[in-house]
Amino acid sequence: MPATPPTIERLKQSRIRATVTFTVEEVAKAEEQALREMGQSIMIKGFRPGHAPIATVRERVTKEALTEQTIRGLMKTALPALIEEHKIVPVIPPKVEVIGREPMVLAILFVERPEVTVKNADTLAPAKKEITVDPKDVERVIEGLRREHRRKQEVDRSTKEGDDVTIDFSATDADGKEIAGLRGTDEEVTIGSQTFLPGFEDALQGTKKGEEKTFTLTLPEKFPVEALRTKPASFHVTVKKVEENELPELTDAFVQKVFGQPTAEALRTRVTSSIRMQEEQHDRMERERKLLEEIRKRTTVDLAEELLETEVGDMVHEWSTRLERQGTTIAEALRKEGKTVEQAEQELKTQALERWKLRLGLQKLIEMKAIHVTEEEVEQAFAQALQQMPKDRQEDAKKEWQQRGAAYQELRWRTLVEKAIDALLA
C-alpha cells in the first residue's frame, strides 16, 4: 500500500470510491518495471528483445502507453491491499481514473453487490400440473408404430383415409403468381394424417391416379411469408400414385418380435409411461420458465450504472461474435431490422437490467434458502460437461479447470442455480 493512507468514500448504489496517492519513489519503481515489460515486445536494432537500455525503450514508447502500464503495475499491489483492508467485495472490475500527476493520485471506483429484495419469496413456484394420459394419445402413438411396419400396395381406386398418395403440386397467390416454397415433386401424403396445410388432405379425398385437381385454401396465420398470412392460395395437384396401407395386427407375437415387449398390453403400458414422462418434462420446463419470470418480476434492486454498462458490453460482444459466425455485422443487422443505434442500445440496456435482476434475485434466494454445492457436485457437473465436448477440446478444458479460474466459477454458479431451482420447484 502507498505510504499515504487512502481516502474511502461510500457512495449510493453500493459504490465505493477510493482515492490513493503514490509517492515519487513508488511511481518511479512502477515506471521502471513498466519499461522493462514493454521492452520485451519492442524490436530495437542492435539489441535482443528485453535487453535494450531503459532509456532507449523510453524513447520508443508513447507517454500515454507508459502511464497506462505504470498504473497497471501500481494497481497490482494497491488493489488487493485495498480490498482486504476495507473488506470490499466488488462484483465487476474497478474503474481507475488519474486525478493527479505530481504526485500520482488515482481514483478507484468499486461497485459491490447492491441490496436486493425478493417479494413474497415463499410463493414463487407455480403449482405442479396433474399429469393424465389420454388413452387416445396412446392409441395414436401405437397407430404410428404400426404404420412404421405397414405393407403398401398400389391400388386403382379413389383415395380414402389412411391411403398414401404420391403427388406433384404447386401453389399460386390471388394474382396468379407462384408462391415460393409451396412446390413439390413426388411428395407422399397420407390422407388423414394432418401433416400438410389444414384442408389439403381433405381436398385429395376421392381423387384417382392421373387426376389433376385445383382447390383454394386459406394460408395459416403462422405462414413463413408474413404478407401471405390468412390469404387465399390456389393449389394445383397431380395425383401420380395411390397406395393402400395394410397395418399389422397388434398381437403379442408381433409386439414380441418388433418391440421386444412380452405382450401388446405391455407395449401400451410402456407407451403410456413414455407419454407421461414427456408431459412431466414439459411441465417441469414450463414451471421453471414461470419461476424465473416471477423471480425477475419480484426482485427489487437499485443498480449502479456501471453494472448496466458492463452487462451491455458483454451482450454486445456476444451479439457481435454470433453475427460474425453468420458472416454479418451488428450494423448490417440493425439496417435489416430498421433500428437505430440508440434504439438497440435502449433494448440492450433493458435486457441488461432483466439479467441483473434475475442473477441477483437468484443469489438472494440461494442465501435465504441456505443452498450450497459440494466440490464433488461441481466435479460431477464438469465430468458431464466434458463428455459433451469435442475430443480435441477436452485436454485444454481439463487444464483450464485445474486452474480454478473463470470456467470453474461459472460452472459452480450454474450448478448452484440448478440446485436452487430444484429446491424452489419441489
Ordered by where they begin, the domains of the chain are 7-112 (3.30.70.1050), 153-246 (3.10.50.40), 372-426 (no CATH)
**CB–CB of 208/120 below 8 Å?**
no
- Cβ-proximal residues to 383 (8 Å cutoff; 6+ apart), any chain: none
Characterize the bridge pairing of strands 178-190 and 299-301: unpaired
- Residues in a beta bridge with 246: 151
d(CA 120, CA 291): 13
User: Average pLDDT in the 77-94 region?
Assistant: 92
User: Average pLDDT in the 191-219 region?
Assistant: 92
d(CA 35, CA 66): 7
Share of the chain above pLDDT 70, in %: 99
The per-residue pLDDT for range 296-331, each reduced to its tens digit, is 999 999 999 999 999 999 999 999 999 999 999 999
148 burial (CB, 10 Å; 0-12 / 13-18 / 19+) is exposed
CB neighbours (10 Å) of residue 309? 14
165 has pLDDT over 80: yes
If phi > 0 it is left, if psi is from -120 to 50 it is alpha, else beta; for residue 116 that is beta
Between 284 and 404, where is the model more confident?
Answer: 284
Report the half-sphere exposure of 347 (CA within 13 A, side-chain side).
9
User: Average pLDDT in the 389-414 region?
Assistant: 89
392 has pLDDT over 90: no
d(CA 223, CA 235): 15
Q: Is the Cα torsion angle 50, 53, 56, 57 positive or negative in sign?
A: positive
Share of the chain above pLDDT 90, in %: 75
